[in-house]
Amino acid sequence: MPSLSEPLKILFMQLFALLAPAVGGIAETTLQYIPASWHYQAARQEFPREPSKELMVGDHGRILQFVDDAFPPEYLEQLRRGILEAVGVGADSELPTGDSLPLGEEGTGQGLGTAFDQAYTFELTATLAGLPYISEVLGLPLDMFLERALDAHCNAFFLNAVVLDPKMAQLSEHSSPWHDFGISVHRDDSLGSFARGLVDSEPGFHGTNARTVVVLYLSNVAGGAELEVYNNTDLTGYDLRKIAVDQVRERCLVGSSREDEAVMIRCQAAVVNEVLSVPTLARLAPQKGRLVHFDGRHSHGVRKASFSNAQSPMMEGALRISLVLEQFSYPSAAIAKIPTIQSMNREKPFFSSPSMRERFVHADGSPRELGSPQVSDSAFRDCLLQARGTSPAPSSSALKQCVIEATDTA
């Protein structure tokens, strides 16, 4: 993938606005100016091509790292089936049709943004003090995943399962202008409202986006569904999502006939692909057992998947299923506002048992505990890094032991 300096990337984006009047803002004309390789459902090459020897969690020297066959097949299958049950899919049932499951609203603290409108998901928030309870709260065997995926430099975590299904993939045809996406371009900022007001007041705190994101794929798909990571952060000087939307508005104006609508959809997808072509830093297809790590400060999106209409939701390859861990490094003032552990599904508390729910939330669903008042961030970091210095994939008890060692019980 050829690289361009940052000023050239920004200049490239700015040129789009100058070109729009030249093509007259007509969709048919715009399509003539865009290479066929950028049109709707264009073939896309993956990069990086080779997996890393080992996942170096928290190291952002490379924008994206990945390893294949990260866990035993039986463990992956256990997670896959558990997640499908959690989002409301049993062995003899199907995913609900129509709208996606309700997600947390932006601005309320815990929650996904509108980029996830085509996804089914549950979501869990935790601070360091809540980490040892995640598996028990959700009723899923997540300890092995967390030991491998946790960034020792982070102190707040947002775990969610993302399930994309064929019906919603078809609905996304009408999600202008992201017709070629299952999840549109976004940055992971799911806990941002807890820290947004601290950006200017906390020394060394530069933004609310995740520091590290780790994704575990739990299914194969027939095609598409690639994760793309873009050269767009709070510091790059432009908003990639806004550029794409603005370019579509200027260059894909059409009439109201059905034929024009079809041309408009093709034009919108082609313009979005054109805008994203230069700043794309990595593109990786899902593969069962593939563990992916990338710098969470970068914008990213997920392309639309290809499915067989004959597949049922429980069949291998019928759904794109992934486990996503967003990890944040926040100042103590933000951590003090975050629930120690809180799990939500369909906008309601989601716990594996009544005793777990009673332990961590009040009757009205509000959290009983906030923050990690007795856990030292630095002591936890040093402990986990030391454990990983002995083994990149420490034992299943290392994470819990480090929380215990970092807790001041005096």
C-beta separation of 208 from 176 below 8 A = no
Measure the CA–CA gap between 219 and 205, rounded to whole angstroms.
Answer: 37
Q: What is the pLDDT of residue 320?
A: 80
Q: N- to C-terminal Cα distance for the chain?
A: 54
Does the pLDDT of residue 409 top 90, yes or no? no
Identify the residue with better confidence: 123 or 15: 123
DSSP H helix total and E strand total for the chain: 12, 14
What percent of the chain is predicted at pLDDT more than 90? 48
Q: What is the pLDDT of residue 256?
A: 52
Tokens coding 157 = 């975590």
114: CB partners within 8 A, 6+ apart? 106, 184
Identify the residue with better confidence: 398 or 409: 398
Alpha helices, DSSP H, located in 94-237 = 134-138, 143-149, 166-171
What percent of the chain is predicted at pLDDT more than 70? 73
In the three-class reduction of DSSP (H, G, I as helix; E, B as strand; rest coil), residue 12 is classed as: helix
Does the pLDDT of residue 99 top 80, yes or no? no
- In order of 4, 187, 265, 280, the CA distances from 17 in angstroms are 20, 23, 20, 19
Q: Band the pLDDT of 84: cuts 50, 70, 90.
A: confident
Q: What is the pLDDT of residue 11?
A: 53
Using one digit for the tens of pLDDT, what is the confidence trace for 342-379?
A: 999 878 899 999 999 999 999 999 999 999 989 999 99
CATH code of the domain occupying 46-232+279-370: 2.60.120
Q: Band the pLDDT of 168: cuts 50, 70, 90.
A: low
Residue 345 forms beta bridges with which residues?
348
The mean-pLDDT minimum among 123-132, 297-306, 365-374 falls in 297-306
Q: What is the pLDDT of residue 166?
A: 53
Residue 48: asked if its preceding bond is cis (omega within 30°), the reply is yes
Residue 283 forms beta bridges with which residues?
47, 228
pTM of the full structure: 0.82
Identity of the amino acid at 363: A
Q: Band the pLDDT of 205: cuts 50, 70, 90.
A: confident
Alpha helices, DSSP H, located in 324-376 = 332-335, 354-360
Measure the CA–CA gap between 310 and 301, rounded to whole angstroms.
Answer: 27
- In order of 13, 159, 226, 254, 277, the CA distances from 216 in angstroms are 32, 11, 13, 41, 25
Query: CB atoms < 10 A from the CB of 330, how many?
Result: 24
Residue bearing tokens 């970092």: 406
Residue 297 forms beta bridges with which residues?
none
Measure the CA–CA gap between 308 and 298, rounded to whole angstroms.
Answer: 32
In the chain, where are the structural domains located? Answer: 1-33+241-277, 46-232+279-370
Q: What is the pLDDT of residue 397?
A: 81
Does the pLDDT of residue 7 top 70, yes or no? no
Does the pLDDT of residue 112 top 70, yes or no? no
3-state helix, strand, coil in the chain (%, to 5): 35, 20, 45
